[in-house]
Amino acid sequence: MGAELPDDAVEAMRRAEVVTVFTGAGMSAESGVATFRDVETGLWQRFDPAQIATPEAWASDPGLVWAWYQWRAHIVHEAAPNRGHRALADLERTHTVLIATQNVDDLHERAGSSSVSHLHGSLFAPRCSNCARPYQGIDAEPEQAVHELRVEPPACPACLSPVRPGVVWFGEGLPDDAWRSAASAFTFADVVLVVGTSGVVYPAAGLPERAAARGIPVIEFNPEPSALTGIATHSIRASAAVGLSAMLDALGASG
C-alpha cells in the first residue's frame, strides 16, 4: 500500500539540496518501539512515563528510574530500523539530510543516517549525575534484559555519584550542542519533513514552526493530524515507513 503524494511535495523535495527532518516517536513505531504517549504494556504498564521521566522521580527513586530506562534501552536494542529510517538514510545519496530527532533511540544512526541531533538526549549516553562524565560501564549495556522494577544505578568511577540516563527530563533544558546543530539544520533547510510527532512539546516543536514562518516548505507524515499540521504545506496521512519510502520511490521515478 503506497501513499498518495502531492506533486508539489515531490517537486519541493526534488528541487531541494538540504532536507531537514524533524522526527518524533511515530518514526520508531513501525520498529515496535511504543510512542511516548502510547500506553505501555507489561511490567511498566502502571507507570506513567510523564511521572518517571522527571528529576523528582530520579531524586525519590533512582533505582526505579534507572531500571525503566535500561528496559527501554533493551527494547530499542532488540528493535530494528524500519523502512522509514532506511528511506532517510537512502535520501543521503542525492541530498544533504540533517535529522533533528526528539527520540532517544539510536534507530536513525543504525539505519545509516550520518547527521542526527538528539534534542531530548539518548538512551545510550548515560552520564554521571554530578560531574556529567559519560559512563561506559558494562552495567549500562542494554544486552542485560532488565526485568526487575528497581536496579541501583552504577556509581561514577571518577566521583562515585550515581550515573543517570542521558535523556532530557520534563523541566530540564535541552543539550546545548544538540539544540545548536538542530537550529542550524533548520536555518539551512530547503525543505522540512515532520515525521511522527504530536508536536506538543516545546522548544523542539518551535523549530519547524520557525522554518514555516520563513516560507520553507514543510511536509508532514503522520496517520493523524498533529499540532504542527496547521503550519505544514502538505500533511500526508501516512505512516513514516509507508510515506517516506513512497517519497523516495517518487524521487527515484522523477530522476
- Catalogue the active-site residues: 120
DSSP class of 125? -
Q: Is 58 in the site for ligand OAD (CB under 6 A)?
A: no
| 130 in a labelled binding site | no
Residue from 52, 168, 192, 207 touching ligand OAD (CB under 6 A): that is: 168
| Cis omega (within 30 of 0) for bond into 162 | no
Binding residue per annotation — 105? Answer: yes
In sequence order, what are the residues at sequence separation of 6 or more whose Cβ sits closer than 8 angstroms to the Cβ of residue 177?
117
* Look-up of cell digits 546545548: 176
String marking each residue 105-134 x if it binds ligand OAD according to CB under 6 A: ---------------x--------------
Residues 6+ apart with CB under 8 A from 51: 57
Is 34 within any annotated ligand binding site?
Answer: no
Contacts of 48 by beta carbon, 8 Å cutoff, 6+ apart: none
Q: Which residue's beta carbon is nearest to the bound ligand OAD?
A: 26
Q: Does 30 bind ligand OAD (CB under 6 A)?
A: yes
In angstroms, give the least distance from the CB of 34 to ligand OAD. 8
69 known ligand binder:
yes
Residues in 182-241 that interact with ligand OAD by CB under 6 A: 196-198, 201, 221-224, 226, 239-240
Q: Are 241 and 2 in contact (CB under 8 A)?
A: no
Least distance between ligand OAD and beta carbon 142 (Å): 18
Query: According to the binding rule CB under 6 A, does residue 245 interact with ligand OAD?
Result: no
Strands (DSSP E) contained in the chain are: 18-23, 96-101, 116-118, 127-128, 163-164, 191-195, 218-221, 234-236
Q: Is 97 annotated as a binding residue?
A: no
| Count of residues interacting with ligand OAD (CB under 6 A) | 23
* DSSP bridge partners of 84: none
Query: Binding residues for ligand OAD, per CB under 6 A?
Result: 24-26, 29-30, 35-37, 53, 102, 120, 168, 196-198, 201, 221-224, 226, 239-240
